[in-house]
Structure 1
């Protein structure tokens, strides 16, 4: 099956760029802070456990905020939610460098996480409503910005720390914010008037239960590094069951569990995306620490080596977009998940004295896998979601991403908690290979393109 390849119109390209510049703020700020943790320990006189709350709270707020703000996009208008999100990121990025204490810094990070969580679901709603033909091309641009900005985060953060200090990690958001705001203000269509009773139709009970369940699951996974907590597991499972039963009886639920129950393709896509991000973030956070502590690389050299993942993700994404437009998402995901298995197994050849070139080439395979999987997962989701459900579906999609990230943190804490050795890194590689194999099996059940 082939399609005539037609480029996006100039106005459509600028509209997609406005969305993409906003969307990158969340994943970029997720990983960019990681290289500043040691510096922040010194600044605020903290332990490493204390400073990691900057990461954990960002994950938690993003996991809850994505579906919540996706629902608000559906109810109150995508443009309005997108612009408010940019405003919140602006305020937090301006005030965070002035934080008088660590508690204030966490507060500004929470505002930043909530604001940036609005940009993906609202932005995807704009694209799906305004670009009716060649959406795969639009998603290529989105994927390049969203999936690779997380990979570029550690390298950019290291560069900013080298030439300045940790406040630059917040201030560097402003070029992206300004460009996205100006383009969105000019190009986004006006929102339709909210339907009567929109606020009343918001399922606040579902929001509260979902937030509680996500929070307790986060505590459970973070506690795994210290030991298994049966009561947290029981409480997490109980809250999840209560949430399921409550939402199943709602006419307009916050989490449409009835839809997920009926459409197992969407549910399994979310599950696969959790596994994808668990493997990706384990590598993104684990490998730099390994390179510095076990291989003795300095931060600048480590950042350059890690660019292999981001660089190859960018290189393959346009190719993947054209392939998906012709053949659907399934072939792309088959290659992507197989590449996760291959790249993870290749990590086993890395030893204490392995050359930088070999390490770089191994990580290139994982960069290729990232490019195939991210765009493939996005397009696969929208094959099974109506335009009216784009906001909440996009929000849950990104919540799946953060659940995967939380799981990767638990894995790394368990493997690297005491010491970081080549043996620990090989154990991580085996886990990632197993995750890739499960992802490959889940991909095979996707329907073939007609």
Structure 2
């Protein structure tokens, strides 16, 4: 797109279809890869003779990688341009899709998930940066509707992920959940290249590598990895991993406070308490969301004896509610109400899961889990709106990446909770224990949100960020 053509588009309709569609499509790649694998975990475990803890690395590897890659690529987008980061990340997704098709071992597959994590991490922080640049250039208020479309696409694909994963696995085998990334990323690449305006030239004062804070990235990655090594094999704990994680975390804090522009900006988080609270809320809320994504499908297949496709079908009502909730959340002016509704539904959903068991009919299982679609749809879009208002304008890419980082911390926590509740295999008792944990966390979030005074008011969401 030429600068003249883009200028005309900005003057006419800054957030039209040609601008929003390529952004929304790419932002679907991460959530759909996060959830498609839910119904394929049992077939993969069977083929590679792996247990719950081993296949848990297929989940944790992607989120561990995303937790690091999202703020890193967000920082790069702030520095060198969001469109450039976006295009490179789509190429990585295509490569991962091909590599997943030929995976000969579980270890190879974990590596593919790492590459997918890096590739799919570029879209969301790039999208938020592009939204911010366009809004600032036109003097527009926060593009709540456009961001709602972004969130709706992400939530919808997250919700449909288990269904799609189940159908693909049932028809073509589990390899298909990786191969499908190739056409999805290719179509998105073409649209981004054709429709999104080129980035402005970069005027660097120093090298990109110095600005990225590689020591900070390494310390953060090492601390998370050491913690996950301990937590994902809690039955045979690697005790040495705990002090290593603590040491690396302490070094990260020391390093971050000494550096002017660190990877994890603790000073920014300290100065912007509302943003820090938003991140913490996201981590806890997504722990509950991902417990359902992975825990429910594994239980339906492992304890209920249903196929991957049937397990996916059982999530259809949840998916429908998630889509409806996401649309409603994008049209809501305030934030407190959507959060309260989300956490209230999570509490009721956790109680509903206590009423089902392995011999229950599939329709009853689907009904029991359906209410979790409401937090899935509302939490994402509402958190996104909060971050847009609370984050510093010049650090929007980094702040948006950190939002996803805390969400992925929740996803990794969910894999640990599932492992602790299920043990070696999913059982009714394990599901009921998981339900109680989810209900307790949701109840805590509900009470905390009632008394939270850091949430932006409705009028703050309808004006431009200072």
**TM-score under structure 1 normalisation?**
0.90
- Partner residue in 1 for 2:169: 161
- Equivalent residues in 2 for 1:411-430, closer than 5 Å: 411-430=417-436
Is it true that 1:116 corresponds to 2:120 in the alignment?
A: yes
Between 1:345-354 and 1:330-339, the stretch displaced more is 345-354
| Greater mean alpha carbon deviation, residues 54-63 or residues 422-431 | 54-63
In structure 2, which of residues 209, 213, 220 is the aligned counterpart of residue 203 of structure 1? 213
Kindly state the Cα deviation for residue 9 of structure 1 after the two structures are TM-superposed.
4.3
1:200-349 correspondence to structure 2 within 5 Å: 200-227=210-237, 231-323=240-332, 327-349=333-355
My pick for the range that moved more, 241-250 or 437-446, is 437-446
Q: How large is the Cα RMSD of the aligned pairs?
A: 2.3
**How many Å apart are 1:169 and its aligned residue?**
1.4
| Mean Cα deviation higher: 289-298 or 160-169 | 289-298
Separation in 1, partners of 2:240, 2:448: 31
Greater alpha carbon shift after TM alignment, 49-58 vs 87-96: 49-58
Shift of 1:237: 2.4
CA distance in 2, matches of 1:63, 1:279: 17
Change (3 A) 1:426 1:102: closer
- The answer as to 2:404 corresponding to 1:398 is yes
| Structure 1 moving runs of 4+ over 6 Å | none
Residues 29-70 of structure 1, C-alpha deviations (whole Å, 9 max, x = no match) = 122223333444455565665444333322221111111111
Match of 2:159 in 1: 151
Question: Partners of 1:442 and 1:19 in 2: how far apart?
Answer: 33
Give 1:231 shift.
4.1
Distance in 1, Cα, partners of 2:391 & 2:70: 17
Q: For structure 2, list consecutive stretches of 5 or more residues without a partner in the other structure.
A: 1-11, 460-466
2:69 is matched with 65
Match status 1:75 vs 2:79: yes
CA distance in 2, matches of 1:349, 1:124: 41
Could you tell me whether the CA contact under 8 Å between 1:206 and 1:243 is conserved in 2? Answer: yes
Against the structure 1 CA distance between its residues 209 and 170, is the aligned structure 2 distance closer, same or farther, given a 3 Å change threshold? same
Contact persistence 2:89–2:120 (CA under 8 A):
yes
5+ long unaligned stretches in structure 1: 1-7
State how far apart, in whole Å, the 2-side matches of 1:300 and 1:236 are. Answer: 39
Residue 192 of structure 1: aligned partner: 200
Q: Which residue number in structure 2 is paired with residue 436 of structure 1?
A: 442
Contact 1:221 1:406 survives alignment (8 Å): no
Q: How many residues align?
A: 439
